[in-house]
Each structure stands twice: as C-alpha cells, then as structure tokens.
Amino acid sequence: MASLFPKPRKKLVFLASGRGSNLEAVLQAVQKGRIRGIPELLVSDNPEASAIGVGSKYGVPSKILDFSSYPQKEKYHSDLLEILDAQSPDLIVTCGYMRILKKEVIRLFPNRIINIHPSLLPAFPGLNAQKQAFEYGVKISGCTAHFIDEGVDSGPVILQGTVKITPEMTERELTLAILKEEHKILPLAVKLFCENRLSIKNRKVSIL
C-alpha cells in the first residue's frame, strides 16, 4: 500500500564541465518519476560544455562560472560556494565536473555530494582512470558512485558497476563500456539518496 504521506522531493543541484551524458541519465530518471527529486540548478565552469544544453532540454536553469575568466581562482571557488549556499540543495550531483571542490563546500554539505568516477575505487583515482586501468592490465574495471569527502576520489562508496576487459578490447571500447555502467549506477545512487535509503557508518554505506 502506498504511503498517504509521501516523502517530499529532494532539491538537486548539478555540477558539470563536459558532455553531460551522466547529467542526462539522471534527468531522464527524474522525468520518468524514478527519482523523487527536483532539479533546481546546473552550475558549469565551462561555457562551452554540452551539459548546459542538456540541462536546458530538461528545463533546468544554468549558472555559468567560467573558470578560465577568473584571474584569482580562489574567487571562483568562493563564488561557487556562495551559489550553492544560497540554493541550499538537499543533494549536489557532480557529473563530469573537472574541478576539485574546496573543503568549505564539502563541510557545508557533508555526505550530500555524490560523484561518479570511472574506476572501481579505491583503484585508479584521479584523472584518466580508464587509461590507467587499461595500461595496468587489470581484467575487470568499472565505475563507482560515491560521496565526496576532502580527499581525491576517497569518499564512501555507494554503488559500483563492473566491466570485464577482454584481450581484444581497446581503450576507447573500455571507456564506452564503463560509461554505460555510469549511466546505470549514478541515477540509482541519486534515487536511493532521495528515498532516504543510504546510511553511512564508519565510512561504509548501507542501502536500507
């Protein structure tokens, strides 16, 4: 029996720098009613990011903070903090966002920022994770949806998706296979958060 008092929808803010395919995967899930969230804002550090068009397609307003136009990079980070503070989202979702969030942002939104990373963390953190995995010669790679903490790709793991690396697979094929998994687990992680089904204890995430 459905609850007579459904939980209110969570306010969502997105950060993106590039294509926006993960952003679209989440927004599609919201549009189809799979995620009880309200996409309120997209913030991009790149005025050329295709993600801006993706947000517009789904009716999400954008705020552009052109990172390259800031002579003092600390001003960029303070402006971002001001925007996020004013927006007061329940959850921030980073979708291919290529900046490291400052500790002030992370401390303002503890366990309320979800990122998707193209490796099975803690293996291959940082940039070019697919290339790292391919060149290392691992047999299985994948992606990780995790909460952001003050380290680099070191926050509590929510979900992981795996990809088997076959001998004939190219690096590009691996990248595309991992991306398909990202499009599955990021919307699911956001869905679980919006349903209050994620619990963290001793940095271990349990799904309720």
Q: Is 98 annotated as a binding residue?
A: yes
DSSP state at residue 123 = S
Q: Is 169 annotated as a binding residue?
A: no
Q: Is 73 annotated as a binding residue?
A: yes
Annotated catalytic residue within 77, 117, 146, 183: 117
The Cα 74–Cα 76 span in angstroms is 5
Structure tokens at 29: 């899930």
Structure tokens at 1: 């029996």
Q: Is 117 a catalytic residue?
A: yes
Establish whether the linkage from the previous residue to 122 is cis, with ω within 30° of 0. Answer: yes
Q: Is 155 annotated as a binding residue?
A: no
Q: Is 1 annotated as a binding residue?
A: no
Q: Is 22 annotated as a binding residue?
A: yes
Helix axes 129-136, 171-194, angle to 10 degrees: 130
Q: Is 100 annotated as a binding residue?
A: yes
Nearest to 28 by CA among 163, 143, 190: 190
> Known catalytic residues?
117
Annotation: binding site: 20-22, 73, 98-101, 115
Annotation: binding site for (6R)-10-formyltetrahydrofolate: 73, 98-101, 115
